[in-house]
Chains A and B, each alone.
Chain A
């Protein structure tokens, strides 16, 4: 399932069970359970999915199927400063692809990856609804509008 292997501690398992219990261990609530779990762990590694499956008494395959279906769920940890480049149509026609290329070049990572030091991760998303500011880049909670490829270095500097 994933190359990352982690050892779940007892308190991790307790936390997962607590989340599942709060939804009455109801498989119908799987997506809500995954949201809460990802909020806590930051991502959903295979071991966490196995623990959820056993608590809800459903197959790990079903949990894995849901996790990989939805782009909001991730099986790799995000960087300390997750960077998202909006690739909605409005941002695309105003040059978002060039901005994305610049981030890839500066950080030497691809979309969906995290820098080796765990500082930045790169993702693209579809429309944040700030089309007036296109192209838009999000770093954590902060929004940068009308970003040009030349601005990329300065943005990254802010987080050094």
Chain B
């Protein structure tokens, strides 16, 4: 292996690639070649660094300099200044929004200071397409330790004692799941990785697979050893082409090194992994639905029991865990359960990855110890609300979760506290909302999602959610009544109690939690026909302030239905009978003369 004096790590996460980080790699390589430095400095495209807001990110090692918002044309400057002269490029450093200081080491940035990276430990550090780099960071040491020093039951015991709970949403204890699968006798068992990440606004599994695919492969082999399975399957969304490609590369390399395949480390234990593709169905994240999908059928869930651990893929005992759960396993084996269980809260150990997005300054992927508060996440790591607006709510748990408010900001986040507060962990999406977001509309948005994604097998979910969505539609259009609110609540509880699978049982959560926390808004929509956040189009009335109007005619030209009249340089008026409340005039007016009522 050749030795390089310097490495330029370029983020290859989805967000940064969308901002042309692949062109940055090309430009950097070209610059280095031209300067004859191709043998001294290596350019690597890594997995996600997490700080998506400031992407594309380029990190220079060993100097540990963190460049943000890099453009392909900055490559020449980085090479000329930093690589050749050893002077960091000030212009590309992160500027602390409070102190206005330039910060070069990511450790000192508000975004990273409170983070603890376990599942994401290698993302942004290694070249995901090079198994040697994974091995150099203790990769496959845990598998070696399990196969040579620990019995299968000792491995399960370690996972049990670590307190690790499933990161896919429900938080079932992982060690217990493995234990059940190990005790069911069968000729063939399966280890399945659920990489069908479907929550809108959550992309942590994708980042692990793109940034550190070997950690998942290693953990699946460890699981296979402990439950007595020789076959692994990764069920991954077809919408994740880069993750699929990296997994394929990783599997091929692991096979070449004898870390997958027959008699791993010469111990007689054999294990191999294949990929199965999803095709865009949210319900396939439910484990029984996922198994049906892997069998080439419609991804419809079935009643549990029997649990997959008894009868899963092809009717054989199957252990299903999510990507983030697997990614935590090798570290637990390497560092010990005592270390892992010392992090977190009493009943939720370790860390959790969250996809922080919405109206927040620092959008990105973060990993924090369980027990961190929402306030720390939103205001310290997330840097507060965008454009100086007021915080209103944070939605956790995706379409199955709920909205939390100001009064929940100081709750230590873990599986149980979020449920007690009326939301849930889910896979870790965290969408921050400000004063301009209407909570009735947000509930409607999630129900629209559920209606689209319901598999249609059970009536409560198929019909009930459709009815709930209609009621919400009714309310946001200004046609709701107080009786509708009662109906909404009753129907939500019926669906929760009677739906077949996790999707239906949790689908009314966005409605119930917004009704609990933002009852006033529902009342305003129904009784006053008013949307307090000013976002429901049908409830808005536009008018023009004649004192502010300068008669520029921008609004009249922008109106799609010619509802605005007035002379040039004279005041304009909106004909309320013609107006369709599209808001085009409001957006066009540069003088703040268009008022929303």
Q: Which of A69, A125, A130 makes the CB contact (< 8 A) with B455?
A: A69
| Bound: A126/B359 CA distance, A | 18
Taking CB atoms, residues of chain A closer than 8 Å to B298 are 65-66, 69
Q: Which of B14, B297, B560 makes the CB contact (< 8 A) with A129?
A: B14
Q: Are A132 and B239 in contact (CB under 8 A)?
A: no
Whether B293 is near chain A, meaning CB under 8 Å from some CB there, is: yes
Q: Residues 30-54 of chain A: 1 if any B CB is under 8 Å from the residue's CB, otherwise 0? A: 1110110000000000000000000
Q: Are B431 and A89 in contact (CB under 8 A)?
A: yes
| Bound: A90/B355 CA distance, A | 10
A98's nearest neighbour on chain B, judged by CB, is: B583
Taking CB atoms, residues of chain B closer than 8 Å to A133 are 15, 18-19, 52
List, sorted by A's number, 14 A–B pairs whose CB atoms are closer than 8 Å: A28-B295, A31-B293, A35-B238, A35-B279, A72-B238, A73-B279, A89-B431, A90-B358, A127-B199, A129-B203, A131-B52, A132-B54, A143-B17, A149-B587
Q: Are A128 and B455 in contact (CB under 8 A)?
A: no
Query: Provided the pairs A29-B296, A71-B279, A127-B199 are in contact, do residues A145 and B358 lie with their beta carbons within 8 angstroms?
Result: no
Whether B570 is near chain A, meaning CB under 8 Å from some CB there, is: no
Q: Residues 352-392 of chain B: 1 if any A CB is under 8 Å from the residue's CB, otherwise 0? A: 00010111000110000000000000000000000000000
B-binding residues in A (CB < 8 A):
26-32, 34-35, 62, 65-66, 69-73, 87-90, 92-94, 105, 125-134, 136, 143, 145, 149-150
B18's nearest neighbour on chain A, judged by CB, is: A143
Q: Which of A35, A71, A92, A129 makes the CB contact (< 8 A) with B277?
A: A35
Shortest CB distance B340–A (Å): 27
| Bound: A112/B578 CA distance, A | 30
In residues 325-339 of chain B, which contact A (Cβ within 8 Å)? none
Q: Are A69 and B201 in contact (CB under 8 A)?
A: no
Beyond A70-B278, A93-B442, A149-B587, 20 additional contacts (C-beta under 8 Å) are A31-B296, A32-B276, A32-B296, A66-B296, A70-B279, A70-B281, A70-B299, A72-B278, A72-B280, A90-B363, A93-B358, A93-B433, A94-B359, A105-B560, A126-B198, A129-B206, A130-B14, A131-B15, A132-B363, A134-B363
| Bound: A99/B278 CA distance, A | 28
Q: Are A90 and B431 in contact (CB under 8 A)?
A: yes
A89's nearest neighbour on chain B, judged by CB, is: B201
Q: Residues 536-570 of chain B: 1 if any A CB is under 8 Å from the residue's CB, otherwise 0? A: 00000000000000000000000010000000000
A56's nearest neighbour on chain B, judged by CB, is: B296
| Bound: A94/B15 CA distance, A | 16
Q: Are A132 and B52 in contact (CB under 8 A)?
A: yes
| Bound: A143/B52 CA distance, A | 15
| Bound: A125/B237 CA distance, A | 13
Taking CB atoms, residues of chain B closer than 8 Å to A62 are 297
In residues 19-76 of chain B, which contact A (Cβ within 8 Å)? 19, 52-55
Q: Are A129 and B15 in contact (CB under 8 A)?
A: yes
Q: Which of B200, B355, B358 makes the CB contact (< 8 A) with A126?
A: B200
Whether B213 is near chain A, meaning CB under 8 Å from some CB there, is: no
In residues 174-218 of chain B, which contact A (Cβ within 8 Å)? 198-203, 206-207
Q: Are A89 and B296 in contact (CB under 8 A)?
A: no
A34's nearest neighbour on chain B, judged by CB, is: B279
Taking CB atoms, residues of chain B closer than 8 Å to A126 are 198, 200, 282, 449
Query: Provided the pairs A27-B296, A90-B363 are in contact, do residues A130 and B199 lie with their beta carbons within 8 angstroms?
Result: no
| Bound: A31/B433 CA distance, A | 38
| Bound: A79/B203 CA distance, A | 28
Taking CB atoms, residues of chain A closer than 8 Å to B55 are 132
